[in-house]
Each structure stands twice: as C-alpha cells, then as structure tokens.
Structure 1
Amino acid sequence: MKISVDIDCTPEEARAFLGLPDVAPLQKAVMDDVQKRVMDNLSAMDPETLLTTWIPAGMQGFEQMQKMFWSQMTAGTKSKD
C-alpha cells in the first residue's frame, strides 16, 4: 500500500510547523556585514592602489632575477679565464 500526501505551504510555514528556527534575521545581518566589507574593500581595487601594491614586489622579484642571471653569466666568464 502506498500513501502520498501533498502539502501546499510556503517555506516559512513549513519551518514554523516543524519547529525550526527562523534564520531570516540572522541571514540578513550576515549579508549586510558581507556587503559592508565588500564595499569597504572596493577602495583597494582602484588601479593606482593595485599598482603601488603589486609593482614593488614585482620589481624586486625582477631585480633578483636579473642579479641571478648576471651572477651566472659572470661566473661562467670568470671560470674560462
């Protein structure tokens, strides 16, 4: 024997019927906090700030790579003398 029951209710009504907590206020508070953090951090995404943040590290890495190449090249020429 097979019995099926169709219940037509909203999610809020189902949560209330099953005794589950209403998490809508908590979800709204969390989403408001996330939105505030995203908006605050958008100021760090302007091109000038990105360049000043990335270029020094990139240039330092490039200079280190150049020094490594030059030291390898000069080491090769010194050993042939």
Structure 2
Amino acid sequence: MKFTINVDMTPEELRRALGLPDVSSLQDDMVNRVREQMNAGVEGYDPLSLLKPYMNSSVGSMEALQKMLFTMMSQYGRKDGSKD
C-alpha cells in the first residue's frame, strides 16, 4: 500500500508548523550591519574579505553535511540495521 500526501504551504506556514523560530528580524539586522560596513569602507571595499570567514568555515561544514547524509543513506538501505 502506498500513500501520497501533497501539502501546499508557504515557507512561513511550514516554519510555523515545524515550530521553527522566526529569524527574519535577525536576518534584517545582519543585512543592515553588512550594508553599514560596506558603506563605511566604500573606497577600500573588498567583497572577498567580507565573505572569506564564511567561505572557509562553510567548506568544512559542507563536507560534514555530505558525510552525514552519505552515512544516513547507506544505513537506510540495510534492512537488518547492521553496520557492515
């Protein structure tokens, strides 16, 4: 037997249904802070230096995410739950 459920929700409705916090005000504050920093250093502005801290840490976290997903998928295919 196979069931298919289609749910038509906006991202806001899904966030609320899952009980996730509303971080839109935090996002707005961060965007405003980045804008202020960009406007303060317009002459010597280097966009790469602004993103460099995020790019270095995101590579490691992306690899960790890929490893976790691969482990989950490889375990999903096993019916007995063994680690072999």
TM-score by length of 1: 0.51
Number of residue-to-residue matches in the alignment: 45
- Structure 1 runs (4+) greater than 6 angstroms displaced: none
Pairwise CA distance, 1:43 = 3.2
Q: Which residue of 1 aligns with 2:4?
A: 4
Identical-pair percentage: 38
Structure richer in helix, relative to its length: 1
**Superposition deviation, residue 3 in structure 1:** 1.2
Q: Which blocks of at least 5 consecutive residues in structure 1 are unaligned?
A: 46-81
Cα deviation, 1:27-50, whole Å, max 9, x if unaligned, reads: 0000000011011110335xxxxx
Query: What is the RMSD of the two structures over their aligned residues, measured on CA atoms?
Result: 1.2
**Equivalent in the alignment of 1:40:** 40
Question: Structure 2 unaligned runs (5+)?
Answer: 46-84
Alpha-carbon separation, structure 1, partners of 2:18 and 2:44:
45
In our comparison, the structure showing a higher alpha carbon Rg is 1
- Deviation, 1:2, is 1.6
Tell me the TM-score normalised to structure 2 length. Answer: 0.49
